Amino acid sequence: MPRGSTQQIPLNVSEFYTAETVSIPVTVIAGRQAGPTVFLTAAIHGDELNGVEIVRQVILGLDHEKIRGTLICVPVVNRFGFLHHSRYLPDRRDLNRCFPGDPAGSAAHRVAATIFQEIVLQSDFGIDLHTAALGKSNLPHVRADMDEPGVRRLARAFGAEFVVDFPGRRSTLRHAATTAGVPTIAYEAGETFKFQRREVRKGIFGVYNVLAALRMLDIPAREPRFRVVVKRARWVRAERGGILDLAVRPGELLYRGDAVGSITNPFGREVVALRADCTGVVLGTTTIPMVSPGDAVARVARIEKTLAMVERNARTSASGRARIELDF
């Protein structure tokens, strides 16, 4: 497509049972001046909506006359799941476990192969936008393989307070793209089936920060008040089945031994306390009060060397706990 233009292009990825083509809209913003190519993808899981709004707002806010390079925007990757309010494809496969795909493989692997060939491999860098899975909520954070210089550059530029240093599971878009030489990060924020304004706003600023760092836009970067690279995070899990009374929220600072919540027997008086086994910040929690033994309750990012810095930037929440309040 010509430079200095914006076009929406249908990318054919499969067919419905009616033999009609399944296409996903791809908006390509080609700046008049040369520069890198970056992809933005959202709703690989069809029920994760915050990323859809982030990409939509970026499309509306960018001018191809001012941008350098090319931005490839895919607001809804998993059209099947998006239409049916589902995380998955019709065959119940998780699309984000099928990359780089196989053009002669299963339905899911064929969709993944098309997206990988036509979007990812046409790019120099990538940002994949997610929320927590159904029944959970995430503090906005970036996931990145910080051992990769290109990925590290994107992760630091994005401007999230917390960066989880993890290469990602094999067959995720992020892992497969980075392995193929396209450094990619994931932004995780909020929960499914919602447009959450603060999480969306932070994601928009993060995308703009990355484009500024790549010199695709002439705008000042917005630096976070602090930045912590998380090496280890673990889930506090239910030890008994029952009704969970959760005492923490994403962003709260926990010290070893602090109460995370309690599980009560709905038909009796038995109460089981859950406590933190390390000091750190709550990255994510369940949003479902009914739990069985082993269910994930709260994910805690272990904080050690940077604890004093986190404490300085925390504020007291209504519950009396120290809490990281996002600036956006």
pLDDT at residue 321, as a whole number: 77
Q: Which two tokens stand for residue 220?
A: 């000042």
Domains along the chain with CATH numbers: 5-213 (3.40.630.10), 232-323 (2.40.50.100)
DSSP per residue over 35-46, as a string? EEEEEEEE-SST
Rounded Cα gap, residues 195 and 93, in angstroms: 25
Average pLDDT, the chain: 94
Closest CA to 213 of 91, 325, 69, 309: 69
Q: Is the pLDDT of residue 256 over 70?
A: yes
Residue 96 pLDDT grade (very low, low, confident, very high; cuts 50, 70, 90): very high
pLDDT at residue 129, as a whole number: 98
Closest CA to 128 of 208, 66, 45, 184: 184
Q: Is the pLDDT of residue 314 over 90?
A: no
Beta strands in 43-169 (DSSP E): 68-74, 125-130, 136-144, 162-165
